[in-house]
């Protein structure tokens, strides 16, 4: 989507009576929050009534015509940083990187340098604006201490297309987790709602009032009754989804400081597994596979992020327990 283009939509019969923010989010591929922002700024108007601020709760009617203007993005004042990127795929529209553990995706309080955003600003000449601010086109995230495949849009068109893919869950995302314990199942679909923890607001939890989250889990390896490796396929993208679901299933991700409970391996765990477990300073979760249809060219894209050294060595050490 070009940042300065104006868009026009006519309300169809099946959209009659729905909220304007919901309808225009679906039609444009923008987030509902972004549409609400544009409404409050007067950048969405009904034909013949420009200058009237529309309420987000307005119900649209069949035949209504609405205009949307995407204003010029405001620059984000960040200095590009020369940080090496492990690039799995790149063309003029998008880039897929193998994010290392320890790297934060976006700048935030306490993380004002060394992020993936800083690296992308150095690597890419142009990047699309999001929500009116010029910053790299991140359409999904990985936790700081999760490694693996992450796709970034380099153009507005790619950003719009990727956003739709993620919104419709029309792509394949496979993770590998090394876990404590061993499940009683070999394969399971975990379909449980996730929301804020009722007592710890910085945590997520299985919560009946949360949003439904669906994870397919397949046991790949039992190393010992105390450890296993699980392959996971995401069908939704809730915050901390895999970590919350596996903790609920009583097979928490190794070295997860939030959902894994404090764990010190017993001296009864033989070497070299004992040393590798003691040295593990990141959660043992890796986003290995990212597969999708290119939002511009239509070609199938399959990216497989190689395991980082510490997870390779952990896997080898745990295999010795079998």
d(Cα 231, Cα 281) in Å, to the nearest integer? 21
Return contacts of 102-106, CB within 8 angstroms, 24+ apart.
102/144, 102/145, 102/282, 103/144, 104/144, 105/138, 105/141, 105/142, 105/144, 105/150, 106/135, 106/138, 106/141
Mean model confidence pLDDT for the chain: 89
d(Cα 266, Cα 247) in Å, to the nearest integer? 20
pLDDT tens digit string along 202-213?
799 999 999 999
d(Cα 54, Cα 214) in Å, to the nearest integer? 36
CB 101 within 8 A of CB 143: no
Residue 52 pLDDT grade (very low, low, confident, very high; cuts 50, 70, 90):
confident
The residues with which 301 forms a beta bridge, in sequence order, are 292
d(Cα 180, Cα 249) in Å, to the nearest integer? 11
pLDDT tens digit string along 135-152?
567 889 999 999 999 999
Once rounded to an integer, what is the mean pLDDT over residues 111-129?
Answer: 80
- Predicted local distance difference test score (pLDDT) of residue 232: 98
pLDDT tens digit string along 150-190?
999 988 888 889 989 998 999 999 999 999 999 999 999 99
Q: What class has domain 6-69?
A: alpha beta
d(Cα 93, Cα 296) in Å, to the nearest integer? 7
Residue 2: pLDDT over 70:
no
Considering the chain, tell me which residue range(s) the CATH 3.10.290.10 domain(s) occupy: 6-69
d(Cα 246, Cα 253) in Å, to the nearest integer? 7
Q: What are phi and psi of 127, to 5 degrees?
A: -140, 145
Residue 49: pLDDT over 80:
yes
- Predicted local distance difference test score (pLDDT) of residue 248: 96
Exposure string (b/e) for 250-282, b if CB count within 10 Å is 16 or more?
Answer: ebbbbbbebbbeeeebeeebeeebeebbeebeb
Active-site residue set: 143
Once rounded to an integer, what is the mean pLDDT over residues 111-119?
Answer: 85
Share of the chain above pLDDT 90, in %: 64
Residue 298: Cβ within 10 Å count? 8
Q: What are phi and psi of 178, to 5 degrees?
A: -100, 125
Helix axes of 20-28 and 32-40: crossing angle, nearest 10 degrees: 120
What secondary structure letter does DSSP report for 15?
G
Q: Which of 204, 273, 295 is nearest to 241 (CA)?
A: 204
Once rounded to an integer, what is the mean pLDDT over residues 220-248?
Answer: 95
pLDDT tens digit string along 261-287?
777 787 778 899 999 999 999 999 999
Higher-confidence residue: 71 or 141? Answer: 141
- Predicted local distance difference test score (pLDDT) of residue 5: 65
pLDDT tens digit string along 277-314?
999 999 999 999 999 999 999 999 999 999 999 999 99
Considering the chain, tell me which residue range(s) the CATH 3.30.2350.10 domain(s) occupy: 74-160, 172-319
Q: What are phi and psi of 177, to 5 degrees?
A: -125, 135
CB-based contacts of 79: which residues, under 8 Å, 6+ apart? 118, 121
Residue 1: pLDDT over 60:
no
Distances (CA, A) of 233 to 143, 244, 272, 278, 290: 16, 14, 30, 28, 10
Residue 85 gets the label, from left (phi > 0), alpha (psi -120 to 50) or beta, of beta
- Predicted local distance difference test score (pLDDT) of residue 73: 61
Query: Would you call 93 helix, strand, or coil by DSSP?
Result: coil
pTM: 0.75
Residue 134: pLDDT over 70:
no
- Predicted local distance difference test score (pLDDT) of residue 77: 66
Distances (CA, A) of 47 to 38, 40, 68: 16, 17, 10
Residue 102: pLDDT over 80:
yes
- Predicted local distance difference test score (pLDDT) of residue 4: 55
The fold for domain 172-319 equals: Pseudouridine synthase (3.30.2350)
The fold for domain 74-160 equals: Pseudouridine synthase (3.30.2350)
């Amino acid at each position: 989507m070009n940042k300065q283009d104006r868009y026009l939509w006519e309300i169809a019969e099946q959209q009659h009576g729905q909220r304007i923010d919901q309808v225009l989010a679906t039609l444009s591929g923008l987030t509902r929050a972004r549409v609400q922002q544009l409404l409050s700024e007067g950048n969405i108007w009904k034909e013949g009534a420009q200058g009237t601020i529309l309420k987000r709760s307005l119900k649209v009617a069949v035949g209504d015509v609405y205009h949307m203007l995407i204003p010029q993005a405001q620059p984000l004042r960040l200095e590009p940083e020369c940080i090496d990127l492990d690039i799995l795929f790149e063309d003029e529209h998008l880039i897929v990187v193998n994010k290392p553990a320890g790297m934060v995706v976006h700048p935030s309080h306490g993380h004002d340098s060394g992020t993936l955003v800083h690296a992308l600003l150095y690597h890419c000449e142009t990047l699309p604006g999001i929500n009116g601010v010029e910053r790299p086109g991140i359409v999904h995230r990985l936790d700081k201490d999760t490694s693996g495949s992450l796709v970034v849009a380099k153009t507005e068109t790619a950003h719009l297309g990727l956003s739709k893919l993620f919104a419709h869950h029309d792509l394949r995302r496979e993770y590998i987790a090394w876990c404590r314990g061993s499940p009683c199942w070999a394969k399971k679909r975990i379909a449980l709602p996730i929301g804020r923890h009722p007592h710890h607001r910085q945590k997520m939890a299985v919560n009946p009032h949360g949003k439904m989250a669906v994870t397919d889990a397949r046991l790949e390896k039992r190393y010992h009754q105390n450890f296993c490796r699980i392959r996971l396929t995401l069908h939704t993208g809730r915050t901390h989804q895999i970590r919350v679901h596996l903790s609920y299933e009583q097979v928490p991700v190794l070295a997860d400081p939030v959902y894994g409970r404090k764990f010190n391996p017993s001296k009864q765990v033989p070497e070299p597994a004992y040393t590798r477990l003691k040295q593990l300073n990141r959660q043992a979760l890796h986003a290995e596979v990212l597969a999708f249809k290119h939002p511009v060219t239509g070609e199938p894209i399959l990216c497989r992020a190689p395991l980082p050294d510490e997870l390779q060595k952990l896997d080898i050490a745990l295999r010795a327990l079998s």
